[in-house]
């Protein structure tokens, strides 16, 4: 699942390439988008900005129209010079926005809609979003206090975008390993300094993973939480069930949890349960 850092990098790249440019071409397989294009044409509008809010990507066009996309599990945005071959099959295209120089193609993006600024401000999912870990106005104390009130396992709480926007399944396991906290510990049972550490690590890791954006925006680019230069040692625990812990050698454990049975990974030695 794309995480906050991936969406943030995608938005940065799209903003760099497209901000201030005039749209010359618009296509989509979604009738609710092409209907709006027919009524209020997208071509001819200027792309004013592209930004991420949590895991939502917002492209603001002149004339009060905002394209909101959410990548969910498999969606991605790619940028190609106009006329260049795509590296993904055309049948996966969901939305395409082109200018004279470049095209932005959203592949397998399941959520896409046009909104006015007023509609966006009233949007239920957007209003429900917790503080963005990559946002400038991030308030650690408020987020820590919100986490402390929850009775669910801390691993579930970190994925709840209403508490904290930007953490996906990979970072969830990595952050808890670095913070030394067992993933199934109830949030409300954690000490204040443990929660403070989790929030600090979460912000550090997401920021560290916002690398200079590359042209290709796949979800796996550059993500690393260890400082190892060995590309095979990028992550501490995620995807490493049964392998030895990079710190203590204990066998990494994994378990499916939550409604969609996403896997959680942890080291039983470095992340001791208090209960």
Active site residues: 2-3, 55, 262
Which is closer to Zn ion, CB of 45 or CB of 172? 172
| Residue 245 touching Zn ion (CB under 5 A) | yes
Applying CB under 5 A, the span of 165-173, 184-192, 206-214, 240-248 interacting with Zn ion comes to: 240-248
Nearest to 96 by CA among 107, 88, 86: 107
What residues numbered 247-266 form the site for Zn ion, per CB under 5 A?
A: 247-248, 250
Instruction: Say how many C-beta atoms besides its own lie within 10 A of residue 275's C-beta.
Output: 7
Which is closer to Zn ion, CB of 79 or CB of 270? 270
Q: Could you tell me where the DSSP H helices lie in 165-239? A: 169-179, 192-208
Q: How far is the CB of 250 from Zn ion (least distance, A)?
A: 5
Nearest to 76 by CA among 153, 162, 2, 186: 2
| Residue 180 touching Zn ion (CB under 5 A) | no
Q: How far apart are CA 199 and CA 175, in angstroms?
A: 9
Q: How far is the CB of 174 from Zn ion (least distance, A)?
A: 13
Q: How far is the CB of 266 from Zn ion (least distance, A)?
A: 9
- Which residue has the closest beta carbon to Zn ion? 245
* Look-up of token digits 């917790």: 130
* DSSP 8-state secondary structure symbol assigned to residue 99: -
Q: How far is the CB of 180 from Zn ion (least distance, A)?
A: 9
Contact 187, 152 (CB under 8 A): yes
Footprint of Zn ion (CB under 5 A): 245, 247-248, 250, 267, 269-270
């Amino acid at each position: 699942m794309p995480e906050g850092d991936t969406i943030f990098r995608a938005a940065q790249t799209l903003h760099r390439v497209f901000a201030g440019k005039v749209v010359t071409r618009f296509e989509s397989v979604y009738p609710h988008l092409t209907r709006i294009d027919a009524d209020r044409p997208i071509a001819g509008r200027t792309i004013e900005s592209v930004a991420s809010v949590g895991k939502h990507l917002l492209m603001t066009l002149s004339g009060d129209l905002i394209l909101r996309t959410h990548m969910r599990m498999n969606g991605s945005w790619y940028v190609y010079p106009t006329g260049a071959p795509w590296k993904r099959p055309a049948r996966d295209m969901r939305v395409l926005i082109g200018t004279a120089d470049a095209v932005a193609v959203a592949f397998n993006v399941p959520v896409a809609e046009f909104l006015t600024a007023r509609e966006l401000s009233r949007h239920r999912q957007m209003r429900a979003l917790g503080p963005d870990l990559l946002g400038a106005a991030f308030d650690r104390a408020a987020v820590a206090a919100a986490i402390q009130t929850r009775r669910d396992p801390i691993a579930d709480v970190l994925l709840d975008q209403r508490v904290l926007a930007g953490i996906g399944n990979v970072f969830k396991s990595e952050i808890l390993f670095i913070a030394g906290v067992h993933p199934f510990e109830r949030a409300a049972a954690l000490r204040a300094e443990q929660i403070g550490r989790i929030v600090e690590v979460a912000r550090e890791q997401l920021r560290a993973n916002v690398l200079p954006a590359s042209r290709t925006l796949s979800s796996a680019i550059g993500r690393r939480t260890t400082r190892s230069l060995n590309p095979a040692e990028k992550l501490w625990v995620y995807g490493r069930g049964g392998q030895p812990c990079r710190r203590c050698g204990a066998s990494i454990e994994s378990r499916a949890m939550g409604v969609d049975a996403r896997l959680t990974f942890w080291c039983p030695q470095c992340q001791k349960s208090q209960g």
